[in-house]
Amino acid sequence: MRLTTYLAKRIGYTVFVLIGLSILIFTLARVLPGDPARMALSPRAPEWAIERLREQLRLNEPLPIQYLYWLRDAFSGSLGESLVTRRDVLTDITEFLPATLELLLFALIFDVALAIPIGMLAGRKANTWVDNIVRGFAYIGVTIPAFVFAIIFLLVFGYVLQIAPTVGRLSPGVMSPPKITGLITIDSLITGNFSTFVDAISHLILPSFALALGPIAQEARITRSSVVENLNKDYILASISHGLPERRIILKYLMRPSLIPTISIMGLDIASLMGWAFLVESIFNWPGMSRYGIIAMLRKDLNAIVGVVMVTGLVFAIANIIVDVIVSLLDPRIRMIERAK
Amino acid sequence: MSNTLLNVEELHVHFKVYGGILKVLNDVALKVNEKEKVGLIGESGCGKTTTMRAIMRILPWNAIVPKAKIYFKGKNIMKMSDSELKKLRRGSISMIFQDPTAALNPVFKIRDQLFDIVRYTNLEVGKNLSKKETEEEAVRLLREAALPEPERILDSYPFQLSGGMRQRVCIAMALASAHDLLIADEPGTSLDVTIEDQILRLLKQIVEEKRTSIILISHALGAVKGFVDRVYVMYAGCIVESASTSDVFREPLHPYTKGLLAAVPKLTGGGVPEGIKGRVPDYMNPPIGCRFVTRCEYAMPICERKQPRMINAGNNHEVACFLYGE
Ligand SMILES: Nc1ncnc2c1ncn2[C@@H]1O[C@H](COP(=O)(O)OP(=O)(O)OP(=O)(O)O)[C@@H](O)[C@H]1O
Ligand SMILES: [Mg+2]
């Protein structure tokens, strides 16, 4: 199987897209009104100081030249200095990104763990009360945006019932584990600090579940309908007619073809997940990329804006490559057709 | 008198659809003896596949079975428990589906699919095959279905095989468990004529060698002529005639059978076969009397009012038509 060729092709294509994205966001950030140099300094700063900062930021060069400088720096591992933190944007991102990734990871775990079984169940029990309940919930999940769930969870579970913490990644007084991956759950497990692990999980539950609900609903619906469709396919009836055990038919012959559309749509859901994560982070005071990104926008911190967008794009691209590889593993037809091209 | 293997009586199957109920199978009765080769003939949409799915208990979810007695070796399939059904499907009856492309799971290699079938059919008779034995048995089945290079076939996905190969793979799968009865639903009709012919000859050779019974389904009488011992003619969910193959060709009784025979293309005559005018009636509101009445050139007043019963016209030649008495 030439999965490696397929992978190489996809990665090449992704680099291309990311360069396109960088040109776009680089230009957009600069044509928006407002002078970043003036905003970075105090309102009373003298004109010569502002001019010096502009010079330093190369804002007086033509746009393409500015971009080429940025590209050169990017390839040598620097995303430029943030006007707010006065550190390299890459350093800032490595500090804030893990919190966001951890949130996304848990949302994805909830998503996969719930959407697929729920969708399979509803599909197998199509048009029964089970199915109707699932469809009702799925409808709610698809129509209500994640930040509304986040606010509801915050109020209900955080303030009224008080069963889960609602602020930050760890309770006050709990020490962060030494930074290895930056994901507190993983780092605390590696260092064998179980109580920190539990505390981190309890902080993750509400925001990640609020984030996951939309994708869960969407993917459960898609799984349901493809299960219903496949259940009536001749190949499933043929498996039954050969006397194969029910478990084997469902977990092998029904599940694999039914999951192909689900996993494909997951690639898109991951994108929307990242968008919503910015709002949910703000609601739960989650020290991730969102606060950094929002401040960057407000202060017109050019390098930070470009950096945040590029990292988001990169995470999205990687997630989609993974999704594509899984789909091509599930569906030999896709793999072989790609190969033939 | 040979032993009855399968005896279907009073089989009724309806389908729930948007806007009402399709009353498709209406009092179907048919019998298959041990080692007998039986043909089930009728034009498209008359309910042949539905009858076989009822026998295998694999009707689609919207099917309703208001009434059915399907005896296999004296036991009612309709009343079988899950484990009895499993035993039946793994050891006695097997069905070759009409469309081999649809009957194979598109995302698994033939190896995956055939190995499972081999493993579980053998498990049923107490044999727990090793991986190697499973492979040997799978290769043997593929050879029996006259597939060259069985190893290559095992490593292929269905979409990498030609239509004829897929058909043979389906035959191999069915052979794993068809120890008493093989049901072949229009085998080879989706392929070109020479391959269809090869497939039919292969099936004939297999069932004669293994001495199993077969129900061969076809929409054309000509296709089963040199193959089966007996023929059931089906029209719009009803069996309208049953006789030995030679009797049907020599002296067809039902007007529908006569029409079907006229539609057999004559190799010498050329030209378009005559066929029967009109179409299968609407299953939502089928005629109260004989379902063929709307297309029958001999229709009489009684045909509109009453459903004809099967009557014996001598020599085990049965027909459901008022032209031959009530
Ligand atoms: N699941 C279903 N829901 C509704 N109607 C159905 C269903 N399955 C079959 N039918 C209808 O029942 C009738 C008989 O179908 P069946 O497939 O048994 O015919 P057939 O004799 O096998 O035809 P063909 O030669 O085309 O295979 C057709 O009118 C078909 O549309
Ligand atoms: Mg059919």
The tokens for B77 are 């399939």
Report if residue A44 sits inside a domain. Answer: no
> Is B42 a pocket residue for ligand 1 (Cβ < 6 Å)?
yes
Domain count, chain A: 1
Chain-chain contact of B106 with A243 (C-beta, under 8 angstroms): no
Report if residue A273 sits inside a domain. Answer: yes
Report if residue A184 sits inside a domain. Answer: yes
pLDDT, chain B, mean: 91
Report if residue A110 sits inside a domain. Answer: yes
The pLDDT assigned to B191 comes to: 85
> Is B47 a pocket residue for ligand 1 (Cβ < 6 Å)?
yes
Q: Report the complex ipTM.
A: 0.92
The tokens for B249 are 């060709």
Which CATH number does the domain housing residue A250 bear? 1.10.3720.10
| Edge-to-edge order in the sheet of strand B238-244 | B93-96, B181-185, B213-218, B37-41, B230-235, B238-244, B318-319, B311-312
Q: Which atom of ligand 1 is nearest to the CA of B237?
A: 14
pLDDT (tens, 9 = 90+) of chain A, 341 residues, equals: 577 888 888 899 999 999 999 999 999 988 877 788 877 787 788 888 888 888 888 888 888 999 999 999 998 989 988 988 889 999 999 999 999 999 999 999 999 999 999 999 999 998 899 999 999 999 999 899 888 998 999 899 888 888 888 888 888 888 888 888 889 889 988 888 888 999 999 999 999 999 999 999 999 999 999 999 999 999 999 999 999 999 999 999 999 999 999 999 998 888 888 889 989 999 999 999 988 998 898 888 889 999 999 999 998 999 889 998 899 889 888 777 655 54
Q: Which atom of ligand 1 is nearest to the CA of B60?
A: 1
Cβ contacts from A onto B, under 8 A:
84
Ligand 1 center from residue A158 Cα (angstroms) = 57
The pLDDT assigned to A337 comes to: 67
Average pLDDT of the residues in B4-18: 96
pLDDT at B273 over 80: no
3-state secondary structure at position A167: coil
Report if residue A103 sits inside a domain. Answer: yes
d(CA B59, CA B63): 6
Map out the domains of chain B as residue ranges.
4-228, 253-326
Q: Is A336 on the interface with B (CB under 8 A)?
A: yes
| A48-69: pLDDT as tens digits | 888 888 888 888 888 899 999 9
Report if residue A64 sits inside a domain. Answer: no
> Is B22 a pocket residue for ligand 1 (Cβ < 6 Å)?
yes
Select from A93, A312, A94, A104 the least CA-distant residue to A207: A104
Cα angle B310, B316, B320 (rounded to 5 degrees) comes to 20
> Is B17 a pocket residue for ligand 1 (Cβ < 6 Å)?
yes
Domain over B4-228 is classified CATH 3.40.50.300: yes
List the domain range (segments joined by +) for residue A159.
89-340
Residues of B in contact with A237 (CB under 8 A): 53, 58, 60, 97
Question: What is the pLDDT confidence band of residue B271, given thresholds at 50, 70 and 90?
Answer: very low
Quote the pTM value: 0.87
| B221-236: pLDDT as tens digits | 888 888 999 999 999 9
Q: Is A263 on the interface with B (CB under 8 A)?
A: no
pLDDT > 90 fraction of chain A, expressed in percent and rounded: 51
The amino acid present at B123, given as its one-letter code, is L
Tokens 């004989």 — which residue? B290
The pLDDT assigned to B274 comes to: 53
Residues of A in contact with B105 (CB under 8 A): 235, 239, 253, 256-257
Tell me the residue length of chain A: 341
Report if residue A21 sits inside a domain. Answer: no
* Pairing mode of beta strands B318-319, B311-312: antiparallel
d(CA B294, CA B139): 51
Report if residue A150 sits inside a domain. Answer: yes
The pLDDT assigned to B119 comes to: 96
pLDDT > 70 fraction of chain B, expressed in percent and rounded: 94
The pLDDT assigned to A339 comes to: 55
Three-state DSSP string of chain B: CCCEEEEEEEEEEEEEECCEEEEEEEEEEEEEECCCEEEEECCCCCCHHHHHHHHHCCCCCCEEEEEEEEEECCEEHHHCCHHHHHHHHHHCEEEECCCHHHHCCCCCCHHHHHHHHHHHHHHHCCCCCCHHHHHHHHHHHHHHCCCCCHHHHHCCCHHHCCHHHHHHHHHHHHHCCCCCEEEEECCCCCCCHHHHHHHHHHHHHHHHHHCCEEEEEECCHHHHCCCCCEEEEEECCEEEEEEEHHHHHHCCCCHHHHHHHHCCCCCCCCCCCCCCCCCCCCCCCCCCCCCCHHHCCCCCHHHHHCCCCCEECCCCCEECCHHHCC
Q: Is A244 on the interface with B (CB under 8 A)?
A: yes
Q: Report yes or no: B144 and B206 within 8 Å, Cβ to Cβ.
A: yes
d(CA B255, CA B320): 10
> Is B50 a pocket residue for ligand 1 (Cβ < 6 Å)?
yes
Average pLDDT of the residues in B186-194: 87
Pocket test for ligand 1, best of B48, B56, B97, B240 (most atoms within 8 A of CB): B48
| B76-129: pLDDT as tens digits | 999 999 999 999 999 999 999 999 999 999 999 999 999 999 999 999 999 999
